[in-house]
Amino acid sequence: MNKISSPKKIKEIMSRHGFKISKSLGQNFLIDRNILERIIKIAEITKEDCIIEVGPGIGSLTQYIAEAARFVVAVEIDKALIPILKDTLKDYSNIEIINEDILKIDLHKLIGERFQNQKIKVVANLPYYVTTPIIMKFLEEKVPIESLTVMVQKEVARRMQAEPGTKDYGSLSIAVQYYSEPNILLNVPPSVFVPQPNVESAIIKLEILKEPKVYVQEEDLFFALIRDAFGKRRKTILNALNTGNLKLDKNLLKEILYESNIDENRRGETLTIEEYALLSNSLAKIYNNL
């Protein structure tokens, strides 16, 4: 099938439909076949797979996905792109386009209605202004997906994969690694998009874990603790948690840090996900006994 993704073809499609690119919706369309093929390979899409694509744009990636997968549901926020997608993807019978904001969609309902008991993967060249909320929505809502293969800003990819003690390590690293195993698989230059973004990009694959990486008794408390610990990066873990939103008592903190074998003078950015789980479980135990 003729590919949509050459620069000439994209220009021709946009001018035929009188379409103007919206920077505020993060519209950077892929024009490189090699990268499109790499995304399909990295996502390991087979004819058994049902795919949710976020932001199909004019359909460049959607076309490659549809050729490899069983079925694609593509969710696009921009109403102006819907007639274009209907035109560019008209030869495919395994694509459904939904005109919605992915952040407002009920994912469990969507999956229940379209994909009951099927193998589901998420594949997307994400709009950079909402990358983190979109990824966290799929992870936190615990939707039954196998993996997310997404193009994101390189710095964000690094933060998702970062290890304790590095400058990129933060609450995003822990949140992503709690639910999945992240792997940056390809760095991507601005030249493969129109218009070119001002930043470098990367393709990262998040393989969803069957169980979260660590046992956490109360997830809300675990994530609140992490937010406090990284809210004041320069402080020791003792002071960061004492002066954070949870306003934890200093003596109580000293006790649970000691019990968890964590030096109170360490900084939050050096604690592993297992150590945060220990701390939050000790705290949960104390709260539940009060």
Q: What are the φ and ψ backbone dihedral angles of 108, each rounded to 5 degrees?
A: -65, -40
Beta-carbon contacts of residue 40 (< 8 Å; ≥ 6 apart): 64, 65, 68, 123
* Spatial distance between the Cα atoms of 139 and 137, rounded to a whole number of angstroms: 5
Q: Is 106 in the site for ligand SAM (CB under 6 A)?
A: no
Q: Is 78 in the site for ligand SAM (CB under 6 A)?
A: yes
Q: How far is the CB of 67 from ligand SAM (least distance, A)?
A: 15
Beta-carbon contacts of residue 255 (< 8 Å; ≥ 6 apart): none
Q: How far is the CB of 246 from ligand SAM (least distance, A)?
A: 31
Which of 50, 55, 73, 131 touches ligand SAM (CB under 6 A)?
55
Q: Is 56 in the site for ligand SAM (CB under 6 A)?
A: yes
Whichever of 59 and 244 has its CB closer to ligand SAM, that residue is: 59
Angular region, 88: left φ>0, alpha ψ -120 to 50, beta rest = alpha
Which stretch in 95-103, 169-177, 206-214, 243-251 sits in contact with ligand SAM by CB under 6 A?
95-103
Angle at alpha carbon of residue 69, lines to 58 and 66, rounded to 5° = 25
Query: Using CB under 6 A, which residues numbered 128 to 157 contact ligand SAM?
Result: 130
Q: Is 101 in the site for ligand SAM (CB under 6 A)?
A: yes
Q: Is 50 in the site for ligand SAM (CB under 6 A)?
A: no
Q: Which secondary-structure segment (H or E) carries 15?
A: helix 7-16
Q: How far is the CB of 223 from ligand SAM (least distance, A)?
A: 23
Nearest alpha carbon to residue 162 among 184, 143, 145: 184
- Please report, as ranges, the residues that interact with ligand SAM according to CB under 6 A: 25-30, 54-57, 60-61, 75-78, 81, 101-103, 125, 127, 130
